[in-house]
Amino acid sequence: MRSETVPLRRLQAFLDESTARPPIGRFLVPGTAAADIVFSDTPISFMMGVNSETGVVMDKHHPLIGVPLQGKAFALRKGRGSCASSAVILELLYLGKAPSALIFREMDPILVLGVLLAGALYSKSIPVVLIEDDTVWERLSKAESCKITSKGLMIGDELMSLDRPYSQSVETSPEDDRMLRGEGYDLATQMAMELIVEFASIQGAKDLTNVSQVHIDACCLVGQTSLLVPQRLLELGGRVRVPATCNSLDVDRQRWRALGTDPDVSQFASKIGDAYLAMGASMSFTCAPYLLDSKPQQGDQIAWGESNAVAFANSVLGARTQKYPDYLDVLIALTGRAPVMGCHLDEGRQPTMSFHINTGELAGFDDSLFPLLGYHIGSLVGGDIPIISGLENSSPGVPDLKAFSAGFATTSSAAMFHIRGVTPEADTVVVPKGIPEMSIGRRELAETWLQLQSAKNDTIDIIALGNPHFALEEFPRLINLIKNKTKSPNVAMVITTSRFVYEKTEQAGYLDVVVKFGAQFITDTCWCMLKEPVIPPKAQNIMTISAKYAHYGPGVSGRGVAFGSLADAVEAACTGTRPVAPTWLFGL
């Protein structure tokens, strides 16, 4: 039947006052605000890009670095697509540190979900507006302040009307309707279905689909709400109805005491994990669920959070998922139902940009090529899905595609990519005629390599491996590189991985070799969450093979980061010095 809950009555009542026409955009979440404008045409991830305690921009690669957003009308083209950004805006609203309004030029469902959830759980909300007029967006870029009323957006003395959200009603099944009415279901499931339907309507989804599994990204410690939300869902009777895996926590639940990490933070983070386990999720605690035996198969309809995992699942495995915001992943796990939009649909998987890699210019490339390519292409596509040629003979393995996915998801809000001759749908997907085409060669990648270097000097104090979690397939190469070499006593090497891969590593005989070299293993958490004392207080620079960590690491760790290949990382571990720039890129 057609759901009676969309559009919601409160939304209808709020917007019925608006009579100005023609509309220059629409409300995504209703509300009023009057504030100074902070404007950015450069996308940003609220997760690891905005401090969740203060609302100050902390992404060292963003032009707004150091700018406070609290109380501002934040006019942002769109977010970067980090699934956990919904958790950050929720926490900021809970603390009273959020912007007064969010104004987008392109739809950002992740941040919208965070605002919706804050309203549902804590009665704290802000208006969220989508501008659909280029001229108005240009005016916002030059304006000092604006006002949002029930009648529309005011810049100066001019009132411009805003339409209601997309009015697509959502087809719900009889079982969905019983959940919506709470007939035979707990309050957590009822609230979950209400929010899923509201979110689906805002997206323009016509109906919902069953999913076979969920990956819950909402496990990281963003703030107080990271525990309050799952605890509240538990109190309301929440239990997962489909298999659900958990993302990385902010703690190694087995080793935190030995590591000397903050007891309060470690115990709080462990409680977050406990809450999801109590709902019935599995103890996976990994940001790379595609390395688990439970990974989905091609064509499976799933609901995953964690942006790198979403890109890998859609692109490499051929499964079907949107890039689900934190907490919507949990709500879907409670119901087993998800909006049919985006990459769930054939048309949502079609490429809209084309790239050719000039591999002839890249003779002798090493494993740093794939994270570089992912990061660079992601920065160019925005929300478009790319199809990539030129890598047909490169034979990338799981580590390469993992690194590409993570780099891509760092700079792009798109949920997937296609690589001809590599990913399963690339040679059969319909490629629309006339889509933009670009070539990428040595010059472009060299510029990106330089962008990822933030080390303060040539010394290296710690090697960061496992962002995303180190894969079993990466160990043979690592062992070959460390053979007959001695790690410097002044350099630490820390490998983050899942318990599952750790056990497989031990069974394969890899573990002892790597530990003997001097590497330290940490499970349950990931490099994006590691701080002192795992990172030595006196350490100045970190060496990584991850474009994702090279981007976010400076902001989350307060250290400089050097990016390079796995061979570079091993060399730095032995010498304590950053390796020279790669000859395949710079011809040195």
Task: Return d(Cα 175, Cα 368) in angstroms, integer.
Answer: 49
Nearest to 132 by CA among 154, 160, 109: 160
Bridging pattern class, strands 33-40 and 145-149: antiparallel
Query: What one-character-per-residue DSSP string does 253-295 give?
Result: TTTHHHHT--HHHHHHHHHHHHHHHHTT-BS---S-GGGSTTP
45, 82, 266, 412: which one is catalytic?
A: 82
Given a contact cutoff of 8 angstroms between Cβ atoms, the answer to whether 385 and 349 are in contact is yes
Bridging pattern class, strands 418-419 and 25-29: unpaired
Q: Give residue 365's region: left, alpha or beta (phi > 0; psi -120 to 50).
A: beta
Nearest to 309 by CA among 389, 377, 217: 217
Residue 20 CB coordination number (10 Å)? 14
Nearest to 125 by CA among 145, 155, 99, 164: 99
How does 553-583 read in b/e, with b if 16+ C-beta sit within 10 Å?
bbbbbebbbbbbbbbbbbbbbbbbbbbebbe
Q: Is 138 exposed, middle or buried (0-12, 13-18, 19+ CB in 10 A)?
A: exposed
Task: Tell me whether residue 123 is one of the annotated catalytic residues.
Answer: no
Task: Return d(Cα 170, Cα 205) in angstroms, integer.
Answer: 7
* Amino acid letter, 138: E
Nearest to 147 by CA among 73, 70, 67: 73
Residue 568, both tokens:
């570079």
Given a contact cutoff of 8 angstroms between Cβ atoms, the answer to whether 501 and 291 are in contact is yes
Q: Tell me which H or E stretch contains 521.
A: strand 519-523
Which residues is 129 bridged to in the sheet? 27, 103
* 321 φ/ψ angles, rounded to the nearest 5 degrees: -155, 150
The CA distances from residue 195 to 47, 178, 390, in Å, are: 22, 15, 43
Nearest to 69 by CA among 55, 86, 51, 89: 55
Residues contacting residue 170 through CB under 8 Å, at least 6 positions apart: 2, 3, 6, 197, 200, 201, 205, 206, 207, 208, 339
Alpha helices in 299-427 (DSSP H): 307-312, 328-335, 369-381, 398-411
Task: Return d(Cα 206, Cα 200) in angstroms, integer.
Answer: 8
Residues contacting residue 520 through CB under 8 Å, at least 6 positions apart: 492, 493, 494, 495
Given a contact cutoff of 8 angstroms between Cβ atoms, the answer to whether 542 and 269 are in contact is no
* 386 φ/ψ angles, rounded to the nearest 5 degrees: -90, 150
Task: Return d(Cα 199, Cα 327) in angstroms, integer.
Answer: 12
Hey, is 538 helix, strand or coil?
coil
Active site residues: 82
